[in-house]
């Protein structure tokens, strides 16, 4: 290879490396805008309420166990030390937690969008009703003279109590119970509780309940199946759900105007509701098993732009390769500055895409940004390559590349396959176009020129 040809290849490679600087700056801009949006979402959540998680209700019975222990006491009397055995009462406070025998939760979810500048956050209001019954067996404890049973209460865990929109009133065996702040059970975290009327522990008790609960939150709604048999039914007006947790819906239906989902679990397949030793302080982790739904945005413009940035250097490589082949095949010299200007126009596409996608749908922003760059580069190259048809041909090539990139962005699962096929066809095109090219003669001609 002649020095002239080698110098041209090195200059093109240096230009590609130089273009990494503005591309990296644009990539940093995407991360910065993502951070700003995340801050706005957190600010909205702090001013209203965040993702919601419901645990309960759980029936809690505090009791105290008296144990008589013998201890030796050293007594000094008349100059002599004597050891006396005395009895001492030791009291230990414990909790018995009972899970619902059956628990049914039904909910109707309505979503709304809050705007803060250019950014938006999805909020929801869930009108839920919890119904079920408890089976409480404390006959053995109640008959033990060393046990003193305290006032029983119901505890519910709610992740963000600021989202409670109504005054929770529970129908308990025909009586109305009012809830108060705090769950009073450490494992539940934040929440509410309600004192129960005096219970009859001399026999196994059956207690039915019904609780309407209206919650407001952002982005996600989830539950812990505390019932031995738990059934959850949700209906929402948001058509883009993402179900998560240890248990997925047993049935779901997603429509253009919303979705419905049903969950069903039993204590046989969850850890939170399995029977524990009633003498232990707690009943195991009550929140380790969860299930729910996230209300996701179908198109995240920043994630799409970030993915598009990964193919930026490939665009530059393919475009510069096309220039170089045209220069070799048509013997029409292209100045490095012209390479640089076209590379700058390619980088400008990503900046336009980010800016436009903040004000309109991503698809429309992509079409506008790519069309503007194709027209600009095609117009410029019609003069650089000394014919409008040549500029139009390069514009058509860029249009195909932009269309392929959009397909890659929309087909996340097949992105690797499509990208590999694109590179293969690009390499195949170069090899086919240069199959009869005598590189030694080209190098000699450029040196003579």
Torsion sign (Cα): 146, 151, 152, 153: negative
For the record, the structure tokens of 93 come out as 């406070």
Query: How far is it, in rounded angstroms, from Cα 70 to Cα 67?
Result: 10
DSSP code string of 273-285: TS---TTSSS-S-
pLDDT exceeds cutoff 70 at 272: no
Q: Are 87 and 69 in contact (CB under 8 A)?
A: yes
Backbone angles phi, psi at 341, to 5 degrees: -65, -40
pLDDT of residue 273: 45
pLDDT of residue 413: 59
pLDDT of residue 213: 92
For the record, the structure tokens of 407 come out as 């397909």
What angle (nearest 5°) sits at the alpha carbon of residue 367, between those of residues 322 and 256?
A: 135
pLDDT digits (tens, 9 = 90+) for 110-161: 988 777 666 677 788 999 999 999 988 888 887 888 888 888 899 999 988 8
pLDDT of residue 234: 93
What CA–CA distances, in Å, run from 35 to 28, 40, 213? 11, 9, 34
Query: How far is it, in rounded angstroms, from Cα 71 to Cα 76?
Result: 16
pLDDT of residue 232: 92
For the record, the structure tokens of 213 come out as 């609960």
What CA–CA distances, in Å, run from 170 to 44, 194, 429? 31, 9, 73
The confidence band for 311, taking pLDDT boundaries of 50, 70 and 90, is: confident
What is the enclosing helix (H) or strand (E) of 428? helix 415-433
Q: Is 427 exposed, middle or buried (0-12, 13-18, 19+ CB in 10 A)?
A: exposed
pLDDT of residue 105: 93
Query: How far is it, in rounded angstroms, from Cα 190 to Cα 160?
Result: 7
The fraction of the chain above a pLDDT of 90, given in percent, is 12
pLDDT of residue 119: 67
pLDDT of residue 261: 92
pLDDT digits (tens, 9 = 90+) for 69-125: 777 767 766 666 677 677 777 888 888 888 898 999 999 999 887 776 666 777 889
Q: Are 95 and 278 in contact (CB under 8 A)?
A: no
pLDDT digits (tens, 9 = 90+) for 333-354: 777 788 788 888 888 888 888 8
The confidence band for 275, taking pLDDT boundaries of 50, 70 and 90, is: very low
pLDDT of residue 151: 87
The confidence band for 45, taking pLDDT boundaries of 50, 70 and 90, is: low
Query: How far is it, in rounded angstroms, from Cα 291 to Cα 245?
Result: 4
Torsion sign (Cα): 356, 357, 360, 365: positive
- 388-410 and 301-309 helices, crossing angle to 10°: 120
User: What's the rounded mean pLDDT across residues 387-397?
Assistant: 80
What CA–CA distances, in Å, run from 175 to 137, 147, 196, 400? 21, 28, 10, 71
Residue from 209, 156, 215, 208 nearest 185 by CA:
156
Average pLDDT across the chain, whole number: 79
Name the DSSP letter for residue 162: G
pLDDT of residue 245: 86
Query: How far is it, in rounded angstroms, from Cα 152 to Cα 154?
Result: 7
pLDDT of residue 166: 86
The confidence band for 298, taking pLDDT boundaries of 50, 70 and 90, is: low
pLDDT exceeds cutoff 80 at 304: no
Query: How far is it, in rounded angstroms, from Cα 116 to Cα 120?
Result: 6
pTM above 0.75, yes or no: no
pLDDT exceeds cutoff 80 at 386: no
Cβ neighbours of 101 (radius 10 Å): 17
Query: How far is it, in rounded angstroms, from Cα 244 to Cα 418?
Result: 29
pLDDT digits (tens, 9 = 90+) for 22-37: 878 887 777 777 777 7
pLDDT exceeds cutoff 60 at 1: no
Q: Which residues contact 64 (CB under 8 A, 6 or more apart)?
A: 91, 92, 93, 94, 147, 148, 150
Backbone angles phi, psi at 359, to 5 degrees: -115, -10
Query: How far is it, in rounded angstroms, from Cα 141 to Cα 124?
Result: 44
The confidence band for 200, taking pLDDT boundaries of 50, 70 and 90, is: confident
pLDDT exceeds cutoff 50 at 274: no
């Amino acid at each position: 290879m002649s020095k002239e040809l080698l110098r041209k290849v090195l200059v093109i490679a240096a230009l590609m490396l130089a273009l990494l600087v503005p591309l990296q700056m644009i990539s940093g801009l995407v991360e910065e805008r993502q951070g700003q949006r995340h801050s706005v979402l957190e600010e909205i959540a702090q001013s209203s309420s965040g993702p919601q998680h419901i645990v309960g209700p759980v029936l809690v019975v505090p009791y105290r166990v008296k144990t008589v222990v013998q201890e030796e006491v050293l007594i000094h009397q008349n100059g002599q030390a004597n050891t006396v055995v005395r009895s001492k009462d030791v009291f230990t406070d414990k909790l018995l937690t009972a899970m619902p025998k059956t628990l049914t939760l039904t909910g109707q979810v309505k979503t709304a969008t809050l705007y803060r500048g250019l950014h938006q956050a999805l909020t929801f209001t869930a009108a839920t009703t919890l119904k079920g019954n408890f089976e409480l067996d404390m006959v053995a404890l109640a008959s033990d003279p060393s046990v003193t049973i305290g006032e029983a209460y119901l505890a519910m865990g709610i992740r963000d109590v600021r989202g409670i929109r109504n005054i929770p009133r529970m129908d308990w065996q025909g009586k109305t119970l009012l809830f108060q702040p705090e769950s009073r059970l450490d494992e539940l975290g934040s929440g509410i509780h309600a004192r129960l009327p005096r219970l009859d522990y001399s026999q196994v008790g059956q207690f039915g309940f019904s609780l309407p609960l209206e919650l407001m939150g952002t982005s996600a709604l989830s539950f812990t199946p505390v019932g031995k048999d738990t059934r959850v039914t949700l209906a929402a007006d948001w058509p883009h759900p993402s179900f998560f947790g240890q248990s997925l819906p047993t049935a779901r239906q997603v429509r253009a105007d919303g979705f419905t989902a049903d969950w069903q679990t039993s204590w046989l397949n969850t850890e939170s509701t399995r029977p524990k030793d009633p003498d232990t302080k707690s009943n195991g982790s009550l929140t380790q098993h969860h299930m729910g739904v996230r209300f996701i945005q179908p198109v995240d413009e920043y994630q799409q732009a970030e993915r598009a940035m990964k193919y930026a250097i490939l665009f530059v490589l393919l475009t510069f390769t096309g220039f170089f082949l045209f220069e070799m095949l048509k013997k029409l010299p292209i100045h490095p500055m012209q390479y640089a200007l076209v590379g700058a126009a390619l980088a400008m596409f990503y900046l336009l895409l980010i800016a436009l996608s903040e004000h309109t749908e991503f698809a429309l922003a992509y079409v506008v940004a790519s069309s503007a760059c194709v027209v600009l580069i095609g117009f410029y190259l019609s003069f650089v390559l000394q014919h409008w048809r040549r500029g139009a041909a390069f514009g058509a090539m860029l249009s195909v590349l932009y269309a392929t990139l959009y397909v890659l962005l929309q087909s996340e699962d097949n992105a690797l396959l499509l990208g590999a096929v694109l590179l293969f066809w690009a390499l195949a095109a170069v090899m086919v176009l240069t199959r009869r090219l005598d590189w030694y003669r080209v190098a000699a001609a450029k040196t003579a020129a």
